[in-house]
Amino acid sequence: MTTEEAQRRTSGVSATTATSTGEFGIANPARSTAWAGAVQAGARVLPEHARSHNRALVLQALFRAEGLSRADLAREVGLTRVTISDLISDLINENLVIELGVRTDSRPGKPATMLDINRNGFVVVGLDLSFNSRFRGAVTNLDGTVLHREELDVTGVTGTEAVEATALILERLVAAATAPILGVGVGSPGIVDATGTVLSAPNLGWKDLPLQQILSMRAQLPVQVANDANIAALAERTFGGGGADMMLVRAGRGVGSGLIVGGQQVYGSGSAAGEIGHVMVGTDGGDTCVCGKSGCLETWLAIPRIEARLANATTEAEREAILREAGERLGIATAPIVGALNLGEVVLSGPSELIDGPLIAAAADTLRDRTMAEFVGDLSVRMTTLGRDIIVLGAVVMVLTGQLGVY
């Protein structure tokens, strides 16, 4: 049997994904069950792929609406009760699904046995490398509920040292896990390709760093690495009520974004989708940017820049004008994107004391003024509700998608 065939024969997620003893080194390698992987152009479909797709559908349905019976699932997914029973039997054996007992409400017919994803039977480890001077991480259950946190100061740490720091915080999180670890998700700044290689992350001094491979080898766990803003968009989509056509803009030290188009994450031709920080805004100049150009979105919207301007503001009106201008510039930059993609939502993530107020209001006004009302009539511009944990939650979504096919 060839390697490829062996892989093809492997389906499902083994229930023994990782030991919960906390050893940093015992678990199964990364592997994808997701249907998405099989749908790529040129990929044939075998019966077993159909099975894992249907299996993912069942998990998705259970994930979204707890308290479903086998019969409910059959109606929801469109398969027969027989097939659902068979799939559920597998999932129960793998400890991914549990029976909650019989339905209590009074209805004719045999009472249903309620099912749910075993939300506490596995945990996910999420890492957020996007902060300037500290790495953050958390252990969560499958709902994204944080069970344990770790932080690590990394001021001035770059290159290999930064990799070691990442491995260290991961090790601590793995040790803190109280249930088998389904997988590890990492949100990194910079450009990250589909294989989890950090092509470029200037702040961390990383270039062509195969972070996913490194961490996966070290932890012996399935690891997935993606850009922080992209991962935030995933989180908003799954946990924040984000729609199928959505943009998440993240303002921090720089400005980045993640895009969901047609329900799918956008990666871009060079894995650099969402990088809007250095797109010039308007035709009337602006401050000089670190990149050499003038009037980049970052010069208007990066938090340090806003804070510097606000430091000179003496009155509340001045303060508001500064924030409104930042919002306007965001609106100017995103209007063509919103129009071209016919987005339904623009979600902002960042320090709410700065963003949630005049800034976001001005962005919404500007967006509406500069696009065609007929097309963007029901555009929603809002803050994320996920707060500072958004990257960690995105990591959960990545792992759920990668390991279970849930999204």
Q: State yes or no: residue 107 binds DNA (CB under 7 A).
A: yes
Please report whether residue 370 would count as binding a copy of itself according to CB under 8 A: yes
- The CB-of-294 to a copy of itself minimum distance in angstroms stands at 10
Spatial contact of 66 and 116, defined as CB atoms under 8 Å apart: yes
Residues 61, 77: contact at Cβ < 8 Å?
Answer: yes
Q: State the binding partner of 112 from DNA, a copy of itself, none, CB within 5 to 8 A by kind.
A: DNA
Give 336's contacts (C-beta < 8 A, 6+ positions apart). Answer: none
User: Contact with DNA (CB under 7 A): which of 10, 11, 95, 158?
Assistant: 11
Q: Which does 69 bind (CB under 5 to 8 A by kind): a copy of itself, DNA, none?
A: DNA
Q: Please give the Cα distance from 389 to 392 (Å, whole number).
A: 5
- β-strands 198-201, 206-209: how paired? antiparallel
Nearest-approach distance from CB 297 to a copy of itself, in angstroms: 8
Whether the Cβ atoms of residue 205 and residue 233 lie closer than 8 Å to each other: no
Which position has the token pair 């083994």?
14
Task: Choose which of 39, 43, 82, 291 interacts with DNA (CB under 7 A).
Answer: 82
Q: CA 297, CA 39: separation in Å to the nearest integer?
A: 36
| Binding of residue 4 to DNA (CB under 7 A) | no
CB count, 10 Å around CB of 162? 22
- Binding track, positions 238-257, relative to DNA; x by CB under 7 A: --------------------
User: Does position 150 bind a copy of itself by CB under 8 A?
Assistant: no
For residue 139, what are the β-bridge partners?
125, 148
Work out the end-to-end distance of the chain between its first and last CA atoms, rounded to an integer number of angstroms: 32
21 burial class (0-12, 13-18, 19+ CB within 10 angstroms)?
exposed
* Residue closer to DNA (CB basis): 99 or 318: 99
Q: Whose Cβ is closer to a copy of itself: residue 252's or residue 254's?
A: 254
- 335 lines the binding site for a copy of itself (CB under 8 A): yes
Where in 54-83 is the site for a copy of itself (CB under 8 A)?
Answer: 54, 57, 60, 76-79
Does the footprint of a copy of itself cover residue 319 (CB under 8 A)? no
Nearest to 191 by CA among 248, 136, 252, 256: 256
Residue 196 CA to residue 188 CA, distance in Å, equals 10
Binding to DNA by CB under 7 A, coded x per residue (else -) over 42-81, reads --xxxxx-xx--x--------------xxxx-----xxxx
Which residues in this chain contact DNA in the complex, by CB under 7 A? Answer: 5, 11, 44-48, 50-51, 54, 69-72, 78-83, 85-89, 102, 106-113
